[in-house]
Amino acid sequence: MDPMTPETIVSALFSTSAAAAAGLAVMLQPTLPRPDVQPVDHFQEADFSIYDRDFTLQGRDCEIGIKRRGICLSRSPLEDTIVPGRVLPVEIPATSAEFPIILEAPLKASHLQTVRFGHRIALFNPDTREIVDVIDLTAQSFANARVSDRQKAELEGTPDAQTS
């Protein structure tokens, strides 16, 4: 029989401790809280609230952006034409929004792409090239930022159409 060396004892203790820790983790796993993250196919107030408004970044006035990430969003001549239901022609590129914007925003459905056209953020279906949802970041509130809600208000002639 081999004598028990200090190395053998330490190795045995380490292996036993590792096995006990793994067993404890398996036993506790069902009781650990699981994140309740459900991807969505529309914008939420959390999407609108990640943006800062009217700040200075590197000596430049920034109307809309994410100050802590060093992002200032420029206008686009296309932004006013980006509305839910529009199918983008192939000659209009649908470039993903900046990675920090996607990272900060709540999780979206995997079949949708978050794209940006100036001060409008859109959810885009790359298979059909359809704009699914849009928020206008120049709005005063999330309620006014929902482009589809504003379109409905404009069609109905309600006062909400003039608030943004």
Find tokens 């928020």 and name the residue. 135
Element (H, E) at 135: strand 130-136
Give the chain's mean pLDDT. 81
- Domain 45-162 grouped into CATH 3.30.43: no
Using the predicted structure, report yes or no on whether residue 144 has a pLDDT greater than 70.
yes
Across the beta sheet with 130-136, the strand order is 113-117, 120-125, 130-136
CB 38 within 8 A of CB 25: no
Q: Supply the DSSP symbol for 17.
A: H
Rounded Cα–Cα distance for residues 78 and 94 (Å): 11
* Residue 127 pLDDT greater than 50, yes or no: yes
Per-residue pLDDT at 164:
38
| Token pair belonging to 110 | 């995997």
Closest CA to 75 of 123, 124, 136, 133: 136
DSSP of 55-107: EEETTEEEEEEEGGGTEEPPP-TTGGG--TTPBPPTTS--PBPPHHHHHHSPP
> Sign of torsion, CA 152 80 38 141?
negative
Query: For residue 23, what pLDDT is reported?
Result: 55
Residue 38 has what pLDDT? Answer: 84
Task: Parse the chain into domains and list their residue ranges.
Answer: 45-162
* pLDDT tens column, 17-55: 555 555 555 555 555 455 556 889 999 999 999 999 999
What is the predicted pLDDT for the residue at 161? 41
